[in-house]
Amino acid sequence: MKHLLCTLLFGIFLQGKEIALSFDDAPMSTSKHFETLTRTDMLLKALKELQVPPVMIFANPCKRENSSSVISQLKKYKDAGHFIGNHTCSHPRLDDVGYTEYIKDTKKADDLLFPLFVGQKFFRFPFLNEGKEEKTRDQMRTWLKENNYRNGMISIDNDDHIFSFKINQAKERGKKFNYSKVKKLFIEHLISAVNFYDDLALKTLGYSPKHVLLLHEMDATVMFIRPLIKELRKQGWKIISIQEAYKDKIYFEQPKNIYANNGIIDQMAMEKNGYQVDFNHIDTIKSELNKILGLE
Ligand SMILES: [Zn+2]
C-alpha cells in the first residue's frame, strides 16, 4: 500500500512542468547591439553550455539578398543538433497578403530550407495569424497536410520581442540605461507568461501539456536566455526537446474557432468557454520599459 502511494505521488510529481524552446524570425539582421552572426553564435553557445535539448529555429530565409549566407548561418543551428522550421520566406501576414501570395512565399522558404530539414517538417505562421476567414484557415490546413508539414504551434505567447525593440530604440537615442533592470523585468514577464498559460491549460484541458515557448532570435532574448533557463529550472521546469513537446496531443488539435493568435491553449480555452483570456501585459511592459530606458 505504502509502495503504491509512493508510486502514485511520484507519478503526480513527475507530471507537467515540461517546456521546449522555439526561436522565431532567424536570422535577425545586425542591430545596434549585435552583428547578426555574433548573435547566432551567442545563442548557440548559451544553449550548449546550459545543455538545452534541441530547440526549433523558425527561419525566414529571404531576409537578405544573399540567401546562401542566410542558409550557412542557419546551418550552424542544424550542425549543433537543433531543428529548423519554416516561418515563410519574408514574414508576411496571411490576412494582409492573401492565400496565393502567402503560399508562394512559403514555398520559396521550403525550397531554400530543404537542405536543413530533418524529419517531420514544421511551419509556424508569422504573427500566429492563421487566417481570420475560415476558408483561408482551411486552405492553409490542407496545404500544410499536402506538403508534409505540421503546424508549429506554441502554447506560451509572451511578446519577448518588445524588449529587443525597446533596448534598440533607447540605444539609437543615445540613452544610458541599466541592463540588469531590463533583465529582471524580462525574466519576471516570461515566467509569469509561462505560469499563466500552464494554469489556463490545467483549467481548460485538465492537464499540463508539454509546453512550447515562443521566443525570438532577437537581442534581449539572446542576451537574457541564460538567466531565463536557469530561472525556469529553479522553478521546477524541465527543458525538453522540441520533438518531445510536439508529441503532445494538444499540437494535433484543429480548433473550429479562428482565434489562433495567442497560441493553442488560448484557442482551446476560446473553444471551450466562448471567450478569450489571453495574457496581455503589453501596455504595462512597454510603459515599464520606457521608464527603465528613459524613453518617456
Ligand atoms: Zn515571426
pLDDT digits (tens, 9 = 90+) for 91-122: 999 999 999 999 999 999 999 999 999 999 99
CA of 271 to the centre of ligand 1 (A): 25
* Domain 14-293 class, CATH top level: alpha beta
**Residue 278 pLDDT > 80:** no
pTM here is 0.94
CA of 263 to the centre of ligand 1 (A): 13
CA of 58 to the centre of ligand 1 (A): 8
- Residue whose C-alpha is closest to residue 120's, from 195, 182, 54: 54
CA of 1 to the centre of ligand 1 (A): 52
CA of 231 to the centre of ligand 1 (A): 25
CA of 13 to the centre of ligand 1 (A): 35
**Residue 14 pLDDT > 70:** no
Contact in structure between 157 and 214 (CB atoms under 8 Å): yes
pLDDT tens digits along 145-172: 999 999 999 999 999 999 999 999 999 9
CA of 144 to the centre of ligand 1 (A): 18
Cell of 256: 473550429
CA of 200 to the centre of ligand 1 (A): 24
How far is Cα 156 from Cα 235, in angstroms, rounded to an integer? 16
- Residue whose C-alpha is closest to residue 173's, from 182, 183, 165, 162: 165
pLDDT tens digits along 40-79: 999 999 999 999 999 999 999 998 888 899 999 999 999 9
Backbone angles phi, psi at 151, to 5 degrees: -70, 120
CA of 268 to the centre of ligand 1 (A): 22
CA of 176 to the centre of ligand 1 (A): 29
In the chain, the percentage of residues whose pLDDT exceeds 90 is 90
Average pLDDT over residues 275-290: 89
CA of 286 to the centre of ligand 1 (A): 19
